[in-house]
């Protein structure tokens, strides 16, 4: 009888993460739907989207019984940074046909505002420019000089190649239409092009053979001090409360590119945010020996600004962090997951890999070296042992308008959570 009870107890605690996940799966889907919903405006810099998301996270932490990590009851760490925002409606029409923002074209996020009635577009050759910061850009006749230009031969260049070939700060004021092929991705920027230019990347496939007349209303608003918040919650440890296991995710995304063109950011990074919330709910019911700190950063898309601010102004001593796990884009793990910093912390990765191999949580766990590509970076630079975990697989929606909650499968996300719980319990 005693043996049966022992077996039952071991089985129960082995399955507890899965049981709790099953109870809270609806809660996680709810979190993702809310974070990607229209009211959040892409969790960016239009209609206080990021601030609304922060306050939603505070509500969810309180509902789960998670204490604030701040010295007050707010859960919020306030800071600010400059950002170029696009809060007003867009119009871009070529030869009388209105193009669809986010699908047919993207405005470079460092662009200045530009407006014109239907005017003739000049055709300028971009194909012969191969050196970044090439002298004499204006002398070569590559600038718009306040008008509209269509870059001939730019369709043979990717967006990244074009920007490497031409420094946009050298371009004079005016609208530059750059034809591109394939997937387009947007981002957030903290500055504008110094010369006053407005650059728009247009899908080559939707452009007419001859670009004759262009009408545009492409407003932007530079915010010199956009108010932002990091959010922190805490589950106190049962034995060593002054040491911490930390789970982090950035909750911000790109916001809107013109009113109504929303970048929902379901995988990037509502998935990581909802996963950390789910882990918070789990550890609230089953605390560890060490305290567990849950940090949600803003400003990641603008340059890891929230996590940088936090490491310079930590709510808890960085030296007291035993390990940090940063989750970014974990909504699609059909092909497993990758751990950045695995080669920096080989013993920790070996333990994580052993746990995965024993229980086959994920089909594959890849190792990767150091990279400054998510919010783990500034912690690593400060000497905090950290992994950045991201999923492998999915449909490839990234920094586009198609990264929606409906497109997110959450394949193997439950198993990833269980793996991370097991890893955290081993400290």
Measured in whole angstroms, the distance separating CA 39 from the mean position of its chain's CA atoms is: 18
For the record, the structure tokens of 281 come out as 């709910």
Query: What pTM was estimated for this model as a whole?
Result: 0.91
Q: Name the residue with tokens 């994580």.
A: 352
The percentage of residues in the chain with a pLDDT greater than 90, rounded to a whole number, is: 81
Read off the pLDDT band of 144 (50, 70, 90): confident
Cα angle: 196, vertex 204, 266; to 5 degrees: 80
Least confident of 75-79, 149-153, 217-221: 149-153
pLDDT at 129 over 70: no
Q: How far apart are CA 187 and CA 43, in angstroms?
A: 13
Closest of 19, 21, 15 to residue 359, by C-alpha: 15
pLDDT reported for residue 134: 41
List, as one string, the DSSP characters of 42-87. Answer: GGSSSTTHHHHHHHHHHHHHHHTTPEESSSSSS-EEEEEEEEEEB-
* Burial zone of 393 (CB within 10 Å; 0-12 exposed, 13-18 middle, 19+ buried): middle
Name all domains of the chain by residue range, CATH numbers in brackets. 2-82+224-425 (3.40.630.10), 90-218 (3.50.30)
Tell me the residue length of the chain: 427
Least confident of 138-142, 293-297, 381-385: 138-142
- What does pLDDT average to over the chain? 90
For the record, the structure tokens of 291 come out as 């305290």
Q: How far apart are CA 226 and CA 399, in angstroms?
A: 21
List, as one string, the DSSP characters of 223-240. Answer: EEEEEEEEEEEEE--SSE
Helix 346-359 × helix 413-425 angle, to 10°: 130
Q: How far apart are CA 407 and CA 267, in angstroms?
A: 9
For the record, the structure tokens of 74 come out as 């707010």
What dihedral angle (degrees, nearest 10) is formed by the CA atoms of 135, 172, 96, 210? Answer: -20
pLDDT at 127 over 70: no
Beta bridge partners, 176, equal 149, 199
* Burial zone of 376 (CB within 10 Å; 0-12 exposed, 13-18 middle, 19+ buried): buried
Q: Which residue has the higher pLDDT, 19 or 333?
A: 333
The percentage of residues in the chain with a pLDDT greater than 70, rounded to a whole number, is: 87
Q: Mean pLDDT, to the nearest integer, of 293-313?
A: 98
Spatial neighbors of 360 by CB under 8 A, at least 6 apart, are: none
Q: Which pLDDT tens digit goes with each residue over 182-204?
A: 899 999 999 999 999 999 999 99
Q: Which pLDDT tens digit goes with each residue over 104-125?
A: 999 999 999 999 999 999 887 7
pLDDT at 132 over 70: no
Residue 227: CB atoms within 10 Å: 13
Q: How far apart are CA 390 and CA 372, in angstroms?
A: 14
Read off the pLDDT band of 170 (50, 70, 90): confident
Q: How far apart are CA 292 and CA 306, in angstroms?
A: 20
pLDDT reported for residue 234: 98
Q: Which pLDDT tens digit goes with each residue over 37-64?
A: 999 999 999 999 999 999 999 999 999 9
């Amino acid at each position: 009888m005693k043996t049966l009870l022992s077996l039952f107890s071991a089985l129960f605690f082995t399955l507890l993460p899965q049981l709790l996940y099953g109870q809270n799966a609806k809660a996680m889907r709810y979190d993702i739907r809310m974070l990607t919903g229209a009211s959040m405006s892409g969790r960016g810099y239009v209609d206080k989207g990021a601030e609304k998301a922060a306050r939603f996270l505070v509500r969810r932490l309180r509902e789960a019984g998670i204490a604030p990590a701040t010295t007050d009851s707010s859960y919020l760490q306030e800071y600010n940074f400059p950002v170029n925002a696009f809060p007003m409606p867009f119009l871009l029409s070529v030869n009388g046909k209105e193009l669809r923002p986010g699908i047919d074209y993207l405005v470079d996020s460092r662009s200045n505002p530009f407006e014109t009635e239907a005017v003739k577009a000049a055709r300028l050759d971009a194909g012969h420019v191969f050196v970044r910061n090439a002298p004499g850009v204006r002398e070569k006749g590559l600038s718009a000089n306040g008008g509209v230009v269509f870059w001939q031969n730019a369709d043979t260049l990717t967006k990244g190649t074009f920007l490497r070939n031409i420094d946009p700060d050298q371009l004079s004021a005016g609208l530059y239409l750059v034809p591109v092929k394939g997937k387009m991705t947007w981002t957030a920027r903290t500055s504008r092009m110094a010369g006053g230019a407005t650059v728009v990347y247009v899908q080559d496939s939707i452009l007419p053979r001859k670009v004759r007349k262009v009408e545009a209303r492409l407003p932007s608003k530079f915010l010199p001090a956009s108010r932002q918040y990091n959010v922190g919650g805490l589950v106190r440890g049962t034995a060593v409360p002054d040491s911490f296991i930390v789970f982090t995710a950035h909750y911000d995304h790109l916001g809107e590119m013109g009113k109504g063109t929303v970048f929902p950011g379901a995988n990037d990074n509502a998935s990581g945010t909802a996963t950390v919330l789910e882990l918070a709910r789990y550890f609230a019911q089953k605390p560890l020996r060490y305290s567990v700190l849950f940090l949600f950063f803003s400003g990641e898309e603008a340059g890891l600004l929230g996590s940088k601010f936090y490491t310079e102004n930590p709510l808890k001593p960085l030296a007291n962090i035993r390990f940090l796990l940063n989750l970014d884009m974990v909504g699609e793990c059909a092909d497993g997951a990758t751990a950045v910093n695995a080669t920096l912390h080989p013993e920790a990765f070996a333990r994580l890999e052993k746990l995965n191999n024993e229980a086959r949580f994920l089909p594959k766990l890849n190792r990767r070296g150091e990279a400054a590509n998510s919010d783990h970076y500034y912690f690593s630079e400060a000497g905090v042992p950290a992994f950045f975990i991201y999923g492998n697989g999915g449909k490839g929606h990234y920094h586009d308008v198609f990264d929606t909650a409906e497109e997110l499968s959450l394949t193997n996300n439950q198993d990833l959570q269980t793996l991370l719980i097991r890893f955290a319990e081993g400290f």
